[in-house]
Structure 1
Amino acid sequence: MYGCSWDEETGDVDGFDEHGYDGEDFLSLDLKNLRYITSMPQAFITQVNWNNNKALLEQKKQYRTQICIDWLKKYLQYGKSTVERKVSPQVSLLQKSPSSPVMCHATGFYPKEVTISWQKNKQDHDEDVDLGKLITNEDGTFQVMSTLSVEPEEWKKNVYECVVEHKSRTIRSILTEDKIRTNYDSTTSLPIGIIVGVVAAVLLLIVTGVAGYKVYQKKKGFKPVNASDDGSNSSAHSDPKV
């Protein structure tokens, strides 16, 4: 195994050339003293031969202090836009319904290292908190969610904050009703009392309608007896006069 290192701030360079055998260190290059060193007796012959080859040692030094460093700088420059890329997270407070847990959602950040925590009245709050898994977005950024499971009455009478710490910046979101994003629409939800009242009224109308229809049917089927019919019938059954 061989390679090099470069300190961008100080400009110091270093290199290494290490050899192993049967899972153990065999020979390694001491670049400062330009010689190979070993602690294994089996490597003594190879050590002497390599140390006597001055041209080989100079070649090793030149590669690790010049050629390798030049390539290292080029690779760092090529990958600088990715290595040093910083994208701030977008933080939202989400809730499914007024009684549901509150979720602190951070998304679109890069790199992936991020910390999400909750504070209650400026003090760290770890109870009733569930941290979700880190998810990769399609554009290569990341998202994660932390859920706070406390009753609305609790966070309304205290100051709860979601704190998102990222390499780009730190974002603090105070939990208030006006900052919560939700799909819940209060205008489409009726109180249970109104719903029960409407159902009862509909049932009452149905019962009244059925009763009225039956009364109407009875009246329609009743036929009164005519007076003439009564007279004819009585004369027909009266005894003849003698």
Structure 2
Amino acid sequence: MIKVIALLLLLQNAASGETYYLEMDHFLYPGVPNFPEYGVMDVFEGFLASYHDDNVKHINQDWLKEYVKKHPEDWKLSVQACLGYKDLFRTQTKNFNTWSNQSEGKEIIQQIIRCDWDEETDNTFGHVKYGNNGEDFITLDTKTETWFATNSKAEVIIDEWNADKTKYEIAKYILQNGCLPLLKVFVKYGKSYLSRKVLPSVFLLQKSPSSPVTCHATGFFPDKGIMFWRKDGEEIHEGVEHGDLLPNDDGSFQMSVYLEALKIPPEDWGRYECVFQLSGVQNYVVTKLDQDSIRSNNPKNEGLLTTTSIAVIATMGCVIVIIIVALSSTAFKKRNVTHSIERSSTPSSETASL
């Protein structure tokens, strides 16, 4: 259901060991017709956990739904606090348009509040970053309690920000009293989800008799899987092309590997196999190259494809607001925003214990 968002968040996925992170991503979209002015995404370990604005309240993970079912009032208060931050967020960033000729309220503003927690040592880390119209803008150095410009356009307001200590105190409060408690809840209810291992379903696909044969694996978790073709038990590389790792709507993953089967004599097809291997799982998923097992685009499947397409279009229509929010988030994050908190770094990217 949220495939586009999952794809955009994939590059952030998976902290190692016993360290977990949560991002609270806030967005202001003033002046955009037929679109909510303000929205919030909670991103846990690279997975969208929830999204809410004044009209939409969406929970994207089953483990979070379990928590909400057990603690509905706690979750309601958490959502209300996030939505109540809108006016303060707007006030804090009202001078972001100082550097441009835009009239006030026309820019798109993003804020990333991220907290990291080492469950074993109980050490915590955090950062706060702002973006303006898809560009890095201002970042908080929590060690020195100083804001610095990550964009030359923000330099005209940095002195004002550093002179106003309330901005730092607000950021610190949100990190300590908003982000960290929620992160610990997410770890408690979501850890088993992150540690599970699920083997995929594997299919052989082919668009036409002259097209490569696609070995497609879907539904596996985590994303530490590899696929390859082998002949007579030995991995082959000639005539083989690997596809990208992609996310599914439910948080699982998919990938494909292609084989130029047109050059293979029909009597030799039985010597070829597609192999999927998931890290930490001994059993492989092996699929023999067999003409009768290949699914292709033939007339008898057209009705099924049409029905499926209609369902997909209907589903995507339900989440278009969330998708647009994620696209804007990624535009900000892809411009040199580092999402892994490094414990030793240059002064311009240091983090500190909360």
TM-score normalised per structure 2: 0.34
TM-score by length of 1: 0.46
